[in-house]
Structure 1
Amino acid sequence: MKESVLSFDCKGERLVGILAEPASAAPAEVGVIIIVGGPQYRAGSHRQFTLLARHLANHGVAALRFDYRSMGDSPGETRDFLDVDADIAAAITALLAARPALKRVVLWGLCDAASAALLYLESTADPRVAGVALLNPWARSAATLAQTHVKHYYWRRLREKGFWLKLLRGGVGLTALRTLAGNLRLARGAGKPKTDSRSFQERMAAGLRAFNGPVLLILSGDDYTAREFVGFARSSAAWAGLLVRPTLDLHDMPTADHTFSAIQDQDSQCRICLDWLRTRCLAI
């Protein structure tokens, strides 16, 4: 594989990306746009974006990892995943212009970058997007975080002997019970309807529902963000049925943490992504 710098315009700012592609043959007709999560830049935690892009390029798929405005080497005003539609669109345009053999792209995102990909679909319905790969999507609110803590942390703690011993001694157990009570109050409000405009989680669902292309969803077992997302998706009317659509491939990785920091988990998610691209996207 080979790598080159790709610099391109986004509303008057020059964004910086690294394009990885096969060295001796034309890439597959579908390329990959790796969207960063914030605060993050194009290498990723423990170089995970770099490793993914190189893995794909070594197997015939071009991949662009880039810094959106205000991240890494790209200038611009500070922004988060709710305001990167223009950056994603600019990256798609730049990649397709630089490599005319490419016909469409797949959007790949971890955490709030996965959320950004769905928000982009919701706001643009961009026909250049052939598929989306979503890893541990971000769907956090104060209520969903409280639900996750109650279900996955406090329930386990209440069954531990050490917790009750600390409680009897008046130590941290008492503080934990107070925190649990607060989380229960927040969690009870998670499923209540809102009177204001749609939340970003509802917009994510709308983007996914309107998208007819293939979707890859990878969820880490050792990750509260993934658990929070699943809990929200299963309880939200907006998300009803979306995780069991025939166009969606779900992969659970029980031992993986949020960023797939163990090398065996990183290697596994790279293989899953490549296999999915080959079977679901490259024939489009």
Structure 2
Amino acid sequence: MKPVIFNGHSGWLHPADGNNGVVLCNPFGHEALWLHRAMRELTDRLVARGVPVLRFDYRGTGDSIDGQTLLRPSEWADEVLEAIAYLKSVTAVEQVSLAGFRLGATVAALAARRCDIKSIAMLAPVRSLRLFLREMNALQRIWLEGACVGQDEVTPPGARDFMGHRVSAEALETIGSLDLCDEPMLPAQRILIAHSGQPDGSRTLSAHYELNGAFVESVDFENYAQLLQTSWLSELPETLLNKVADWLSTDVEPCVHAPKATVDANPVLVTASAIEYPLQLRERGIFSVLCEPATRSPTDEPPPVLLIANTAATHHVGDGRFGVELSRALADRGFASLRVDARGLGDSHYAASGHPGQTVLDAIGADLSWAADWLIERGYRDIVVFGICSGAYTALQATRLNRARAVRGLVMVNPSAFVLPDGCTMQGAAERRLGSPRTYLRSLMRVEKWMEVMRGNARLGLALRTIWRHAAAHAQDLAAAWSGEKLCPPTDRSKVRALFQRLDATGVHVRLLFSAQDHSIGQFHLHFGMHGRLMEKLARAQASIVSNMDHEVLSRIARQNVTAVCEEVLRTTHLAAAANGKVTTVVRKRGGPPIEEYSPPADTSATKARSRIANRKSPLSPTSRRTKDSA
């Protein structure tokens, strides 16, 4: 497969010798992340049957150009037509079919009415946009209630927010009344519809197309509920993918014509603030996107760089597209970044093998460490590793494993763990999630909680096990320290503190960022004491609670806060390295002074974001509503 750039779209061309090609149409928002692996797997099956495939991101989504300020789904059908034209030009296929999951199937149907399509595969299609938007609105409300992002999270006029994606309200109004059963024109004469078993109207849609003269093949979408969930839990519908691949590859013959255009071997995406290079690091089997400031000239020294880890099994785009937004925001401020898909995830070479939930987290850390060395070999010196949730843990492991000590900074957001057993997988890490003992103790002191226990509405098992685990760990830690580790071997607490002490001694600047009610605060208390008092002994490590931040960092305000912290660490590590005489790099903010002299004006967005971050040395709140409710 080859990364491609066309008309501001980022995508993948999967070559094959067949004369019939397929364009895959992405679903919307978080569903595009959850279904990314299924789209990749369907592509691999089609290529194995001789069908060339083009996958691509709409403008404003994925790795594609940002386009306008807000997403405009009403224009996605036009972008599908651009993708069809591009596929025909670089493969010389004679006919093109379309395929898509969920809203991607609807977009494919709208595009197919405006061009000559051989066939269309609609997998759990969205028949009614009105019902789909109602569902998205409900999910957004549920997220807002659970994320506790506060009243500051306000959607501006003319926009709608859906799980981190900001969409044009005008564009939604344009398509909001669309119902495919009201469309008299067929998308194609040959149609496959996979029915999810949900009350989505797909059976009615099949009858509608048959009534209008189309040949419709209906199949069951097995494992639909198991597929449509967060990436590390998602289970592939193997039988369905094979059926769809067989159906789309019917009558495929070898192509006899030469393509009109060639695929650029080194594609480049240019935005207003950044230049991005999709890279296949074949020696490691890793895919990545290198993002550099648009103002950097070839003669400039490489700028400080942020190495961005996968969040669980989500590919390098990040939840709510935060990976891309973070990269381009930092490029606008003079910094580079590398978004990485570790092996077994996203678009990496081995992503099609194995279940992502069984991916070993330490292996991801090793891939990140290798990526840091790769950056060093290309002249970068000031490297900061960034990760959210399990990505924070793998970022910590990358910093620990890096023998070349190329990593100068580390930003961990809501880390899922600080230490895990060797060979621990994503699934294993999720099963080990612990709560905060202080939260449980406070909960057990409430009369109403004991009334719930007596009525059988709450159980004490988890609370008691958590309190015992923390107390035992504390006792073992004291015994090991008193005896010089003769009575007890080193505990997880001592190992974590020793690791952070070593990082601090070697000059690594560490920032730990927590949501106010995140379960990860309990782990922080376990290893560094209540309120993180033991971390205050480290000169370069700081821990903060970030106001209005949810666990996945979908909040717009939280994203500004986290971006500001990343910028601060990149500048701090660069200045520290320059002071030690290790680098002579001077990074310039576009139109501004060198980094050594940089002081943002009082009204910059970065300064406003910093003002919303809690005091770095302030005690961390032990309160956690999630653990309190589960006690």
**Aligning the two structures, in what range does the TM-score lie when normalised by the shorter sequence?**
0.7 to 0.9
Matched, 1:248 2:533: no
Candidates 139, 142, 161, aligned match of 2:418:
139
Partner of 2:55: none
- Once the two structures are TM-superposed, the CA of residue 58 in structure 1 deviates from its matched residue by 1.3
- Once the two structures are TM-superposed, the CA of residue 222 in structure 1 deviates from its matched residue by 2.1
Partner of 2:360: 80
- Structure 1 residues 23 and 251, CA, compared in 2 at 3 Å: closer, same or farther? same
- Once the two structures are TM-superposed, the CA of residue 72 in structure 1 deviates from its matched residue by 1.0
Deviations 1:208-240 (A, max 9, x none): 3222222222222121113322332228xxx99
Matched, 1:190 2:483: no
- Once the two structures are TM-superposed, the CA of residue 140 in structure 1 deviates from its matched residue by 6.6
Q: Is the 8 Å Cα contact of residues 382 and 574 (structure 2) preserved in structure 1?
A: no
Q: Is the 8 Å Cα contact of residues 413 and 512 (structure 2) preserved in structure 1?
A: yes
Which structure 2 residues correspond to residues 199-238 of structure 1 after superposition, within 5 A? 203-211=495-503, 212-213=506-507, 214-234=509-529
Deviations 1:97-147 (A, max 9, x none): 4x53x23311222233333333333334423222222222323779x9555
Q: Is the 8 Å Cα contact of residues 40 and 72 (structure 1) preserved in structure 2?
A: yes
- Once the two structures are TM-superposed, the CA of residue 165 in structure 1 deviates from its matched residue by 4.3
Partner of 1:53: 327
Give distance in 2, aligned partners of 1:240 and 1:251: 12
Q: Is the 8 Å Cα contact of residues 119 and 207 (structure 1) preserved in structure 2?
A: no
- Once the two structures are TM-superposed, the CA of residue 28 in structure 1 deviates from its matched residue by 5.4
Partner of 2:396: 118
- Once the two structures are TM-superposed, the CA of residue 157 in structure 1 deviates from its matched residue by 6.4
Give distance in 1, aligned partners of 2:309 and 2:493: 18
Partner of 1:166: 452
Deviations 1:218-270 (A, max 9, x none): 222121113322332228xxx99444312223332143222222111111111
Partner of 2:120: none
- Once the two structures are TM-superposed, the CA of residue 17 in structure 1 deviates from its matched residue by 0.8
Give distance in 2, aligned partners of 1:7 and 1:157: 53
Higher helix share goes to which structure?
Answer: 1
- Secondary structure at 1:221 match in 2: coil
- Once the two structures are TM-superposed, the CA of residue 188 in structure 1 deviates from its matched residue by 3.4
Q: Single out whichever of 107-116 and 55-64 deviates more from structure 2.
A: 107-116
- Structure 1 residues 178 and 246, CA, compared in 2 at 3 Å: closer, same or farther? closer
Q: Single out whichever of 251-260 and 133-142 deviates more from structure 2.
A: 133-142
Partner of 1:262: 555
Partner of 2:442: 155
Higher strand share goes to which structure?
Answer: 1
One-letter amino acid of the counterpart of residue 132, structure 1: L
- Structure 1 residues 172 and 40, CA, compared in 2 at 3 Å: closer, same or farther? same
Higher RCO (C-alpha under 8 Å, 6+ residues apart): 1
- Once the two structures are TM-superposed, the CA of residue 179 in structure 1 deviates from its matched residue by 4.1
Give distance in 1, aligned partners of 2:287 and 2:488: 37
Q: Is the 8 Å Cα contact of residues 387 and 412 (structure 2) preserved in structure 1?
A: yes
Give distance in 2, aligned partners of 1:16 and 1:45: 18
One-letter amino acid of the counterpart of residue 452, structure 2: K
- Structure 1 residues 203 and 114, CA, compared in 2 at 3 Å: closer, same or farther? farther
- Structure 1 residues 210 and 139, CA, compared in 2 at 3 Å: closer, same or farther? closer
C-alpha RMSD over aligned residues = 3.4
- Structure 1 residues 279 and 49, CA, compared in 2 at 3 Å: closer, same or farther? same
One-letter amino acid of the counterpart of residue 83, structure 1: A
Which structure 2 residues correspond to residues 24-43 of structure 1 after superposition, within 5 A? 24-26=295-297, 29-43=303-317
Q: Single out whichever of 266-275 and 38-47 deviates more from structure 2.
A: 38-47
Give distance in 1, aligned partners of 2:521 and 2:461: 26
Give distance in 1, aligned partners of 2:397 and 2:496: 5
Indicate the structure (1 or 2) with the bigger Cα radius of gyration: 2
Partner of 2:280: 7
Can you give the 5+ residue segments of structure 1 that lack an aligned partner in the other structure? none
Using the size of structure 1 for normalisation, the TM-score is: 0.79
Matched, 1:70 2:344: yes
- Structure 1 residues 185 and 251, CA, compared in 2 at 3 Å: closer, same or farther? closer
Give distance in 1, aligned partners of 2:339 and 2:493: 25
Aligned residue pairs, count: 272
